[in-house]
Structure formats: structure tokens, C-alpha cells
């Protein structure tokens, strides 16, 4: 059988792809209320708020620890370890829980990842060294951050995939926005809250050493609340209908057939995600520039406050973008955001010499903020949506987990490569050196937009259609699809136990 890398995109529909799907099509008759349809999407996807909060708050926590322990923390490798160790855990979690979500149940993967988040966030908050040792405290924090990263990583393939499948029950024409609101938008809200919480406690408690010791623990501790609430909410979830019908939990997964069918689009999704996460880390270089120009000293109120302002730019892009994604489709929305981000990055790099001065710092912030906004409108919102809807249900968790892990690797690589780019372009004290990251980022945005044109169209009913096409492909290649699905789906969804194979 000849392989078609774009089975979702027959030639007869190409002209219709630039317009929105008919909101009245593929409407599933249901007696459920709007809330009954939407809350599973919320319960599945909103765990990514913890990713945004717990990853972002460590930046402010690190600043406070450097103030409290200047000798042991500021001038050692501990600072970079505390901030970056969660990357490694996240990659492991994405790969591991992608497998668990497919091989067992989405519900099991989500509840376990939420449990890890609760436990590790609590242990991070309670970090303590033997006999009051500062080195012991930092070591415990680093270790707990690694395992926290595993829980964060688990939310990507488990929660996002289940959320995408749960959108099949909400009104056609609104499915992309609900997915985005409870995944990427939730991450962005986590960023803002993580920036705001330490600032509030600085206002309340002050900036003394004792106050900062309370502040960093409370700021970390508040990250326990969202996954704790979601843990119990997820216990009430049933497996998504598409998982019940199409899982391969009870039979052998034909990985070679899956690879032949999906390798090309998985490569595209991984490449776009890697490039985006790699490129956006150049923005972190500029955030330090802005804060140093505006703060101009050691006042944490000014520094933390400016961090809140910068993170707020994520919100409008993600919120507006979720509606655009329903209107023109996630592929074209991603391309639109990338092109606008590339243009903004080129403007910022081209006028860096004029903008990066105290006189024009306000204009610099606006242009920088637009760069962040367009990034969320396009790839920030839609890369996860594309990763969760460009594969069939039986392997969706692993497919998404691989793509997300490659993206995180891109972010990790970016933290090392961009300083080298700056150094080789003249150094951080030169205009050319600071322009270079955004020249590179803008070019990569354009390249990613080109790759996105090769992805298949994603419509409102793509998940159902993709499962049908994948079953047909497996049947044509001699795979017994009668082994797919759960025999006793209600018991399976409630207990998380492997049921007997379904026989047709």
C-alpha cells in the first residue's frame, strides 16, 4: 500500500482549508449541558498551569536565594542547577507519561503526574539541610526540582492529549479555543501569577533576609494548590470516548506501521517545536536588559514588578489567538504568528541601538512585548494543538510526548547556544552582539512557517476522521483492529485496570 503522509488532506478540500470549518457540522447529539461538556477539557488540560507557575516562580526564588545565601548560592553552580535541572526531569516525564497514557489510561497518567507535582512541590517548599546546612538545603531543592520536572513533563502528553480528545464533545467551531484556553493559556496565566506572587509578599513582608526566607518558601508552596484540586477532579473523569474505542492497551502496538504512517508529520511537528523553543530563549536575554535599565539597582519591588509587566504580554496573544485558531485553523494561525513574530524580531534587532537606551526603554518594552504576544498567538497556542491532533488515538500520547520532549531539548540547547552567538557577534556589551539573537530567531521563525505549510489541515472533527483513516490503514496492512478498544469501558475508566480485548 502506498503511503500518503497527508491522509487528512484530500485534494478536493485544499481550497476550503483557508476558511473556518462549518460550526454546524459534526455536532454530536447530547443531553449534556455546556459545563458537562467543557469541564473534562478543563480537568485534563489545566494541570499545565502548574508547568507555567512552578517553572516561572523558580526565577524569583533563585533571586531571593542569592540574596539570602550570597556565598553558598550566588557564586556557585547551584544557581544554574536549581533553575535548569527541571528541564531534564521534564523530558523524562514527557516520554514516560506518553507511554503510560497510551499503554494504560489517560486518567492514570494524569492522576499520577498530578500526585508527583503535589509531592515534589511540597518537598521543594520544605527543603532543608542536615543541621541547617545551606549546601544540604540547595542539594535537596535541586533533587526535588528534578522529580518535579518529571511531574510537569507528565502533564504534557497525559493532560493535553486527553483534553484534545475531550473537545470532541464540545460544540464544533469552538473546539480549538477550549483546548488552548485550558492548556497554553493556562501556562501563560501561571507565568503571570508566578511573577506576581513574590512581588506581593515583598510588598507585605519587605526585603529583609528573614522576609525573603518566608517569601521563597510560600511562593513555592502555593504551587501545590492547583494540582491538589485537579487531583480530586480527575478522579471523577472517565476515559475519553475516542480512547475507549481505539486504545491498543490490550494488544501489541504495531510500532513499525505507526512509524511508516506518521514519521513525516512527527518530524515536522518536532522540528517546529524544537525551533520555537530554541528561538524564544533569545527573548530571555532581552528581559534581563529591560529589567537592568528600568530597575537600575537592587530594589526587588521594581525588578519583580517589571517581570510581571513582561509576562502580561503573553496573555493577549494567547487569548486572541485561541479564537483565530478556530476561525482559520491551527496551521494557518501558527504560520500567521510566526510571520508576525519574525517581522517584530527584525524590527527590534534593526533598531536595537536606538531602543535599548533609558530614553526609549518604553518603546523597547512595547516592541519586545509584541514579540512575545505574536509568539503565543502562533506557535505557543498551536504547536501543542497540532501535536495532539495529527496522530491517531492509540499512539497519541507517545507521539505528543516525543514532540514535546524535542521542544524542551530545543529550549535547553538555546540556553547554551545563544550566549555563544552573542559572544561571537561582538559580546553582550556591543550592539551587534545583542542584535544577533533576534536576527537568528527571526530567520528561524520564517523557516518554521515554511515547515508548517507541509503539515496536514486540522479541522474541528480531525480526531474522529484520523482514527477512521488509521484503522483503514492498519486493516490494509494486515493488522487485526478487532483487538482495539476496551471490553468493559466503564469499569476500565473508573479503575484504570487493563480490561480484556474487545472482540468484534
**Could you give the CA distance from residue 319 to residue 381 in angstroms, rounded to a whole number?**
9
pLDDT tens-digit series, residues 168-181: 888 888 899 999 99
What is the CATH architecture of 35-495?
Up-down Bundle (1.20)
Sign of CA dihedral 47, 52, 55, 60: negative
Can you tell me which residue has the cell 510588598?
Answer: 203
pLDDT value of residue 489 = 44
Angle subtended at Cα 279 by Cα 274 and Cα 281, rounded to the nearest 5 degrees = 110
Which H or E element spans position 457? none
pLDDT value of residue 394 = 93
pLDDT tens-digit series, residues 425-463: 888 778 888 888 889 999 999 999 999 999 998 888 888
Q: Which grid coordinates are listed for 102?
A: 497510551
How far the first Cα of the chain sits from its last, in Å, is 25
The residue ranges of the chain whose pLDDT is under 50 are 1-26, 28, 488-504
**Could you give the CA distance from residue 83 to residue 123 in angstroms, rounded to a whole number?**
16
**Could you give the CA distance from residue 62 to residue 68 in angstroms, rounded to a whole number?**
10
pLDDT value of residue 295 = 59
pLDDT value of residue 250 = 86
pLDDT value of residue 498 = 43
pLDDT value of residue 265 = 95
pLDDT value of residue 349 = 87
pLDDT value of residue 253 = 92
The neighbour count for residue 44, using CB atoms within 10 Å, is 31
pLDDT value of residue 503 = 40
Interacting residues of 366 by C-beta distance below 8 A, sequence separation 6+: none
Q: Which grid coordinates are listed for 255?
A: 510500532
Interacting residues of 274 by C-beta distance below 8 A, sequence separation 6+: 406, 407, 409, 410
Q: Could you tell me the residue ranges of all domains in the chain? A: 35-495
**Could you give the CA distance from residue 60 to residue 493 in angstroms, rounded to a whole number?**
40
pLDDT value of residue 306 = 84
The neighbour count for residue 16, using CB atoms within 10 Å, is 12
Q: Which grid coordinates are listed for 55?
A: 517553572
Amino acid at each position: 500500500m502506498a503511503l500518503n503522509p497527508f491522509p487528512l488532506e484530500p485534494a478536493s478540500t485544499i481550497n476550503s482549508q483557508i476558511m473556518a470549518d462549518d460550526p454546524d457540522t459534526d455536532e454530536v447529539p447530547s443531553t449534556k449541558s455546556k459545563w458537562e461538556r467543557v469541564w473534562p477539557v478543563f480537568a485534563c488540560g489545566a494541570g499545565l498551569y502548574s508547568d507555567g507557575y512552578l517553572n516561572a516562580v523558580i526565577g524569583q526564588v533563585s533571586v531571593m536565594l542569592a540574596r539570602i545565601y550570597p556565598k553558598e548560592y550566588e557564586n556557585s553552580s547551584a544557581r544554574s542547577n536549581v533553575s535548569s535541572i527541571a528541564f531534564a526531569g521534564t523530558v523524562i516525564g514527557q516520554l514516560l507519561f506518553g507511554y503510560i497514557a497510551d499503554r494504560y489510561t489517560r486518567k492514570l497518567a494524569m492522576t499520577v503526574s498530578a500526585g508527583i507535582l503535589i509531592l515534589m512541590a511540597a518537598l521543594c517548599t520544605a527543603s532543608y539541610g542536615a543541621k541547617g546546612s545551606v549546601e544540604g538545603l540547595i542539594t535537596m531543592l535541586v533533587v526535588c526540582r528534578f522529580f518535579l520536572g518529571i511531574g510537569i513533563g507528565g502533564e504534557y502528553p497525559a493532560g493535553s492529549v486527553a483534553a484534545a480528545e475531550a473537545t470532541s464533545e464540545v460544540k464544533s467551531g469552538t473546539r480549538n479555543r477550549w483546548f488552548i484556553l485550558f492548556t497554553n493559556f493556562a501556562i501563560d496565566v501561571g507565568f503571570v501569577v508566578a511573577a506576581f506572587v513574590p512581588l506581593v509578599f515583598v510588598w507585605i513582608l519587605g526585603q529583609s533576609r528573614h522576609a525573603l526566607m518566608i517569601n521563597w518558601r510560600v511562593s513555592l508552596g502555593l504551587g501545590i494548590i492547583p494540582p491538589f484540586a485537579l487531583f480530586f477532579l480527575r478522579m471523577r473523569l472517565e476515559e475519553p470516548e475516542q480512547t475507549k474505542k481505539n486504545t491498543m492497551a490490550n494488544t501489541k502496538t504495531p510500532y513499525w506501521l505507526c512509524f511508516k504512517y506518521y514519521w513525516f508529520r512527527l518530524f515536522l511537528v518536532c522540528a517546529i517545536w524544537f525551533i520555537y523553543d530554541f528561538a524564544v530563549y533569545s527573548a530571555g536575554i532581552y528581559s534581563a536588559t529591560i529589567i537592568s535599565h528600568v530597575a537600575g539597582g537592587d530594589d526587588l519591588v521594581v525588578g519583580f514588578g517589571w517581570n510581571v509587566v513582561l509576562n502580561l504580554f503573553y496573555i493577549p496573544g494567547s487569548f486572541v489567538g485561541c479564537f483565530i485558531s478556530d476561525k482559520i485553523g491551527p496551521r494557518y494561525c501558527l504560520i500567521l504568528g510566526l510571520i508576525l513574530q519574525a517581522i517584530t524580531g527584525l524590527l527590534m534587532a534593526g533598531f536595537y541601538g536606538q531602543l535599548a537606551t533609558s530614553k526609549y526603554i518604553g518603546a523597547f518594552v512595547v516592541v519586545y512585548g509584541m514579540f512575545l504576544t505574536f509568539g503565543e498567538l502562533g506557535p505557543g497556542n498551536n504547536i501543542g494543538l497540532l501535536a495532539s491532533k495529527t496522530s491517531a488515538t492509540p499512539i497519541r500520547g507517545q507521539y505528543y510526548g516525543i514532540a514535546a520532549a524535542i521542544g524542551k531539548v530545543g529550549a535547553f540547547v538555546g540556553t547554551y547556544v545563544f550566549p555563544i552567538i552573542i559572544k561571537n557577534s561582538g559580546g553582550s556589551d556591543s550592539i551587534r552582539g545583542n542584535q544577533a539573537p533576534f536576527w537568528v530567531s527571526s530567520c528561524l521563525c520564517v523557516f518554521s512557517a515554511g515547515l508548517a505549510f507541509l503539515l496536514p489541515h486540522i479541522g474541528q472533527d480531525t480526531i474522529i476522521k484520523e482514527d477512521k483513516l488509521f484503522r483503514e490503514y492498519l486493516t490494509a496492512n494486515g493488522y487485526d483492529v478487532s483487538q482495539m478498544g476496551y471490553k468493559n469501558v466503564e469499569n476500565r475508566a473508573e479503575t484504570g485496570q487493563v480490561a480484556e480485548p474487545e472482540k468484534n
